[in-house]
Structure 1
Amino acid sequence: MQQDLTAHYYIYGHSLGAINAQYALANCIYPTSLNEAWLYEGLNVYWLLNDQQKAQAAILRNKINNYIDSRTS
């Protein structure tokens, strides 16, 4: 993102990839470069974040789509 500030990014993640993406988004220093994030079946890591990371996640909240299948056990 730092190399091309005019580019816009989409992030996709499933399972562990969704967990990693949540953490990466909470640490994103270029939030305007993110178009959307699509996360599937990843555990919620919000409770592991510090206050600064939670604030960053709040900034990106409208760009993050988190899907959990309630029919799986």
Structure 2
Amino acid sequence: MASSSKKVLRMTFNSALGSAVSITLPDPKADLTPAQIEAVMDQIIAKDIFLTSGGALVSKRDVKIVDTTTDDLYDLPVV
């Protein structure tokens, strides 16, 4: 039985059609600041580099660092 942990940076944008679009990046640097993340999000919006089913990304909606811990509670017996 093992435990594993991972962190991701999840940036969520509003699309032109009003839907939420998330971009998730693994293993964010520990010293990231909200200002740095917002600056990157502004660049993503300004450069219009992502094609989504909801159209262009038009504004910032949310930013989260998600930390997930998974505990494996069962190990398959070795026969």
Q: TM-score, normalised by structure 1?
A: 0.28
> Which has the larger strand fraction?
2
Max Rg structure:
2
Higher helix share: 1
Greater relative contact order (Cα 8 A, min sep 6): structure 1 or 2?
A: 2
